[in-house]
Amino acid sequence: MGNSDWRPAIVPERVVIITSSLAPRDYGGIASYTRRLVDVLRGWGVSIVVIIVRPQVHSARQQDRITYEMDATTQERCIRLVPIEWQSSRSPYGALYLSESRAAQSIGDVIRAVTPDVVHLTTNLLLGGTVIQAMTDIDCPIVVTLTDSWWICPNGSLLRGDGQMCKGDQDGIVCSRCMFPTAHTTDLLGSLPVPLQHLAMLALRAVPFADQFERVPSFVATVELRRRQLPTLFESIDRAVAPSRFLRQMYLRAGMGRPEQIEYLPHGVDHQVPHSIVDRDVSTRLRFGFTSRLDVDKGVELLLEAFSGLPQGRAELHLWGSWSEVHTASRDRCMLLAVQVPDVYFHGAYRERDAAEVLSQIDVVVLPSLYPENAPLAVSEAFAASIPVIVANAGGMAELVEDECGGLVFERGSVDHLRIVMLRLIQEPNLFKLLVATIPKVPTFVDEVARLVEIYFEVQERYADRPGSLGVDCLVP
């Protein structure tokens, strides 16, 4: 296979794709993956409708649809924006972390109008429960691409506030310490012995209007409800695909899904090798690059600190991506540090079509994420372009990269170890050539989508024999 002109003998007639972001307007792995999936399926003759669901989208005007859709002739029937108005909900955290009934109704209306062969959810974060609720009375199979740990962890990363990893089997009180680290309620509960914490929370829930202050009690109640009900919701998914073995095992260990329900399907990439990669000279100045979302959990601050300790004039650091609108304090610290360190360049976000040009300006891609990422596309894209990578030794990153075989691995969260690894590439001239020579082969995106089409037909066959309707009743507390 692996040929961009190849197409399956038969394809579904209609597919609805539900996501939280879509390139070119949005940036990041999910936006890029969804855009390419839409384009390949459309190129094969599949009729596609994309539903974009995200918290607090206050406007779904025609102008919004135009900015999302590349093909102006199909903008109205191909793109739908659905808001999750969680803050105005009777149960805000139930809407945000479990399911939101109004968004589910809107999604269900679109699916009923389209009558697709299959619905494909390309992200889990904040969408899983809402989408399953939307499918309750609709006879249509669901395929989900697992992109994170949302079904196990409310924030989708299993990264605790203190930088340590969580096992994902914690109760609502423990989760509240990550989500509300500065709340007075959290401090109060943390000062009590564990048995008394739950009694104190029950007492707080009984106090009128107590939740309007910091909303910790309702968050704790939602997390407890999630632990009981999300496994049932997950059973309503016909097939889940995990781009890494790491993520598949994480879900199975957590009791989420069955082995035959979750399939390992690695990400493929478009093979566009930049011209300048093959014989580049890195003996005098090495160009490190970062091509992901600029955010705290992506390790941007850690990367800047590590780079600041390298010999001046021997390396450059180029960062592409958009800043988080939430973690502004981290952004300000990074910008202040960047001003103090020579040879640091911020280039902003880039469009999918410019990926080859961006990679042509990088010698080594660095992914210093603080949490165990699933299967970052940045690694596969770098390998496809014959670019070595440096990654943290966690999750799907460590699965994709074997130390000194196409890349180098450092201790997650360690500024000193990352600096040592980067310094090796500067001081050992033959190491770069060794890493380039040992880069593993990467499957193409056509290979990945071809398998997805097979899965679409497999779940349709199984669903034809299933009695009753899909899904479970509304689970919003």
Residue-range domain boundaries for the chain: 1-268+443-477, 286-437
User: Which of 103-107, 254-258, 261-265 shows the lowest per-residue confidence on average (mean pLDDT)?
Assistant: 103-107
Write the Ramachandran bin of 7: left for phi over 0, alpha for psi from -120 to 50, otherwise beta: beta
**pLDDT tens figures, 10-20:** 999 999 999 98
Residue 65's pLDDT is what?
Answer: 43
Beta strands in 34-149 (DSSP E): 47-55, 79-84, 118-121, 142-145
Q: What is the pLDDT of residues 380-392, one digit of tens each?
A: 999 999 999 999 9
CA distance linking residue 205 with residue 364, whole number of Å? 52
Q: What is the pLDDT of residue 210?
A: 61
Are 1-268+443-477 and 286-437 equal in CATH topology? yes
DSSP 141-203: -EEEE--SSTTT-TTSS-B-TTSPBP-S---HHHHHHHH-TT-HHHHHHHTS-HHHHHHHHHH
Residues 388 and 407 sit within 8 Å (Cβ to Cβ):
yes
Using alpha carbons only, give the angle 398, 404, 409 rounded to the nearest 5 degrees.
35
pLDDT at position 213 is 58
- The predicted model gives 255-272 an average pLDDT of 90
Output the six-digit token pair for 212.
Answer: 């309007």
Percent of the chain with pLDDT over 70: 86
- CATH code that applies to domain 286-437: 3.40.50.2000
Alpha-carbon span 366 to 425, nearest angstrom = 12
Residue 157 makes CB contacts below 8 A (sequence gap 6+) with 148, 149, 297, 371
Q: What mean pLDDT comes out for the span 78-106?
A: 80
**Between 287 and 78, residue with greater pLDDT:** 287
pLDDT of residue 96: 78
> Would you state the pLDDT for residue 431?
95
Q: Is the pLDDT reported for residue 211 higher than 70?
A: no
Per-residue confidence (pLDDT) for residue 279, from 0 to 100? 57
Q: Is the predicted pLDDT of residue 95 greater than 60, yes or no?
A: yes
Which contacts qualify for 111-114: CB closer than 8 Å, 24 or more apart?
111/16, 111/135, 111/138, 111/140, 112/138, 114/14, 114/16, 114/49
Average pLDDT, integer, range 117-129: 85
Residues 212-227: tens digit of each pLDDT: 556 788 888 888 888 8
Tokens describing residue 239: 């097939």
Higher pLDDT, 244 or 61: 244
Q: What is the mean pLDDT of residues 87-105?
A: 80
Please tell me whether residue 4 adopts helix, strand or coil conformation.
coil
Confidence class for position 74, pLDDT limits 50, 70, 90? very low
What pLDDT sits at residue 465? 57
Is the predicted pLDDT of residue 273 greater than 60, yes or no?
A: no
Q: How far is the C-alpha of 397 from the C-alpha of 374, rounded, in Å?
A: 7
Confidence band for 76, pLDDT divided at 50, 70 and 90:
very low
Q: Higher pLDDT residue, 471 or 177?
A: 177
Q: pLDDT tens digit string along 289-307?
A: 999 888 888 999 999 999 9
Looking up tokens 């800043």 gives 323
Looking at domain 1-268+443-477, which of 3.50.50.60, 3.20.20.140, 1.10.10.10, 3.40.50.2000 is its CATH number? 3.40.50.2000
What is the separation of C-alpha 314 from the centre of its chain, rounded to a whole number of angstroms? 34
Q: In terms of pLDDT, which residue wins out, 381 or 3? A: 381
Q: Which residue has the higher pLDDT, 475 or 426?
A: 426
Mean pLDDT of 336-364: 88
pLDDT at 2: 55
Confidence class of residue 446 from pLDDT cuts 50, 70 and 90?
very high
* Cα radius of gyration (the chain): 23
- Give pLDDT, residue 28: 79
| Most confident range, picked from 88-97, 175-184, 291-300, 350-359 | 291-300
What integer is the mean pLDDT of 411-418?
Answer: 96
Give the tokens for residue 420.
Answer: 């040592």
The pTM for the full model equals: 0.85
From residue 291, alpha-carbon distances to 18, 112, 280, 295 in Å are 25, 39, 20, 12
Which residue would you say has higher pLDDT here, 38 or 91?
A: 38
pLDDT at 179: 79
Average pLDDT, the chain: 83
Give the mean pLDDT of 144-162: 87
Q: Residue 410: is its pLDDT beyond 80?
A: yes
| Distance of alpha carbon 401 from alpha carbon 391, whole angstroms | 7
Range from 110-124, 199-213, 217-231, 314-328 carrying the lowest mean pLDDT? 199-213
